[in-house]
Structure 1
Amino acid sequence: MTPTTAPTRVWTPSRVLVTRSAAQLPYGRRVLERVQAAGVADVRVLTGDRLPNLRGDGDRAAFMAAKDTLAVVVGAPSKRKLQPIPPSADWRFDLAEGCPAHCQYCYLAGSLSGPPITRVFADLPDVLASLDGYVGRGAVTSGTAERGHEGTTFEASCYTDPLAIEHLTGGLAEAVTFFGTHEWPGPVQLRATTKFDDVEPLLELPHRGRTRLRFSVNAATVGRRFEGATSPVPARVAALGRVAEAGYPVGLTVAPIMPVEDWRTEYGELFDSVAAVLPAGADLTVECITHRFTPGSKATLLDWYPRTKLEMDEDLRAQKRGKFGAVKHVYPKPVMAELRGWFTDAVAERLPGARFLYWT
């Protein structure tokens, strides 16, 4: 029996806003009860479905107020039509959008518009009930030689960190339980990744091996400098071990990889620490994502974190253009080749039982 371990960090928002329609749904009411039980002082059930203006005047105080706000809403009808999310999964659905952490490289800065509040979707049970129609229809894992055994995969952490808010929502547990107990028309896998370690409520769930919990990890220097308001990397690694002992497939999302000083030593120590906590026969995957930024995300991040020491120098980067012409600034080819070669070898040597899913 895995001993209960107190989480190193849980988030209590200063303000919670619940729209009228969200408060009328059973799951929305459960979230409302949870935030009240958590001692949130400012909980407002709105008279309509429109959130108040949270933009403020653009100053630091307005940013922090938005970052410390949780909203419970009903997702727009367009969200019911799922989109593929390569290279991670066949489809994505959203437990929430937004994250309370303060990662200075946050990719949500270039993905979500508006004030950085965290929105929880009160219609989650309806979304889960609609997933049958997507089984067997994906193209990222479904039917592929490399990952077809994973079944149809559903990513639940594209625009949020579900474990960061789980104590307030219970949404990840609801999804894990649904995936484990629902009679699906074919093999499926729920995927979620986190920078937090409060995994105890998930350990006894009837997951039936249909959920892969991945932990976003990094070199010690990157974690200390740029990942504010998250659980420390060693705590995440320990949580990965507890989840694996509970029979879950697990994963490492090594992101964003940065060639900091002495990076080989730090990433090597990271992989060694993972190897030390894995039980025999653990099902482990590794996903590697290098640091990149867009002109828009750089501008937003500098607004959010004006004193950041994060390297975002276009002169040190190469340009990568998407199919619609969008520009990303990535590491030059020689740097990328050196990183990829080292990580490929290091994973094979230090985590020989792991499956290396992709490099990007």
Structure 2
Amino acid sequence: MTELLDIRRIYLEPAAAELPRGRQVLARWPEATIVEVESHQRIPELYGDETNVRRWVRIKREALVLGVKKTLTARPNGRSADFIAPSTANGCAMACAYCYVPRHKGYSNPVTVFANIERITAYLRRHAGRQGRKPEPNECDPVDWVYDIGENSDCSVDARLSDNVHDLVTLFRDLPNAKASFATKHVNRELLAWDPRGRTRIRFSLMPPADAKVLDIRTSGIDERIAAIDDFVAAGYEVHVNFSPVVVRDGWLDDWRDLLDRLDAGVGPAARRQLAAEIIFLTHNRGLHEVNLGWHPRAEDLIWRPDLQQAKRSQNGDLNVRYRTGAKGAYVHALTTLIAERTPYLRVRYAF
């Protein structure tokens, strides 16, 4: 794991060190330099790190932030999950070129672990209890309320930093009306021993290997992710696939055909019976585009395509680009038709 994580510097909110989970994390890296900070969201050495792109991956590998989650809310979602759970971490040690989650601590966005896990799990238990039984099926799940526990991080990586994800899997294992869900690009086989009893859904993100080689930096290989699916199903997880982001380029549909054939060859009957897919076409951001030009310009040749994209102003004022209306509908239709041909058992939950 030293290639992905080699923690040498921990930015610490002092209150986190007073909690059992905070002490656990500090004990894992006793040689790390401790830098006390007032807030996990305001760290001068990290905020503005987009101006120092040469340290981009080094920051992700060597820096960890340890803080306390102040506000706990479960936001309604309704597409991938019914609710977005309060984060037990944010940021990532991986460096996908299209990542949309960089926050106030800078675009490099190393992992922040929140130490007040007991408060977060207690909140989720109460929230799920208030929901009662799901009154009718929806595209999230036919029976249970689904909580996305990894909106702002990759839980498979987070599990290498603390026991927070294990505690969440344990929590949902015992909830009668709710299940956890998270997308991942990292195969962490330590999760296979956790006995989730079908109450955690893992969504392995997949894209053609040619795209992943350029865009999915510091992640598990596509074939490794596919090879893990049967093992995670056998270990008691519900496993879906997340086709995200879909990148349109010359030959893109041929490469997706090859990927679907790899998936078909790589999973057995048990996985096929419960497999479903989410499809998300690329959305990119002008600010991230400018940053990427400083550390990974080759990626921008794939994902910054003004000839194919149109601009859209987001709610926070950022300028995003996505594939042009009309053309995008044709792309979606082409891919979903291909899925029906090559992997007819693969239910498409939604595509946009």
Q: 1:321 to 1:26 in 2, by over 3 A?
A: same
Q: 1:346 to 1:327 in 2, by over 3 A?
A: same
Q: Does 1:28 align with 2:18?
A: no
Per-residue deviation, 1:274? 1.9
Matched residue SS, 2:278: strand
Q: Is the 8 A contact 1:99 1:161 kept in 2?
A: yes
Aligned equivalent of 1:176: 169
Per-residue deviation, 1:252? 0.8
Aligned equivalent of 2:105: 114
Aligned ranges for residues 1-360 of structure 1 at < 5 Å?
10-36=4-30, 41-44=31-34, 46=36, 52-55=43-46, 58-61=51-54, 63-68=56-61, 69-76=63-70, 78=71, 80-92=72-84, 93-109=86-102, 112-115=103-106, 116-135=109-128, 143-180=136-173, 182=174, 184=175, 186-198=176-188, 200-282=189-271, 283-303=274-294, 305-306=296-297, 308=299, 309-320=301-312, 327-360=319-352
For the residues of structure 2 that align with 1:290 and 1:8, how far apart are their CA atoms? 32
Matched residue SS, 2:160: helix
TM-score by length of 2: 0.85
Farther off after superposition, 292-301 or 235-244: 292-301
Farther off after superposition, 220-229 or 260-269: 260-269
Matched residue SS, 2:45: coil
Matched residue SS, 1:228: coil
Matched residue SS, 1:281: helix
The one-character-per-residue Cα deviations of 1:72-103 (angstroms, maximum 9, x if unpaired) are: 11112x2x122123421122221211111121
Q: 1:301 to 1:108 in 2, by over 3 A?
A: farther
Q: Is the 8 A contact 2:82 2:140 kept in 1?
A: no
Farther off after superposition, 165-174 or 294-303: 294-303
For the residues of structure 2 that align with 1:48 and 1:312, how far apart are their CA atoms? 37
What count of residue pairs does the alignment treat as equivalent? 340
Q: 1:145 to 1:216 in 2, by over 3 A?
A: closer
TM-score by length of 1: 0.84
Matched residue SS, 2:269: coil
Give the letter aligned to residue 189 of structure 1. Answer: K
The one-character-per-residue Cα deviations of 1:302-321 (angstroms, maximum 9, x if unpaired) are: 45545543331334312446
Give the letter aligned to residue 71 of structure 1. Answer: V
Matched residue SS, 1:202: helix
Per-residue deviation, 1:288? 0.5
Give the letter aligned to residue 94 of structure 2. Answer: A
The one-character-per-residue Cα deviations of 1:13-51 (angstroms, maximum 9, x if unpaired) are: 332233321121112222223344xxxx42427386666
The one-character-per-residue Cα deviations of 1:310-338 (angstroms, maximum 9, x if unpaired) are: 33133431244667876532112343123
Matched residue SS, 2:248: coil
For the residues of structure 2 that align with 1:335 and 1:210, how far apart are their CA atoms? 38
Identity of aligned residues (%): 26
Give the letter aligned to residue 127 of structure 2. Answer: Y
Matched residue SS, 2:193: coil
Give the letter aligned to residue 310 of structure 1. Answer: L
Per-residue deviation, 1:229? 0.9
Q: 1:70 to 1:266 in 2, by over 3 A?
A: same
Give the letter aligned to residue 15 of structure 2. Answer: S
Per-residue deviation, 1:347? 2.3
For the residues of structure 2 that align with 1:222 and 1:286, how far apart are their CA atoms? 19
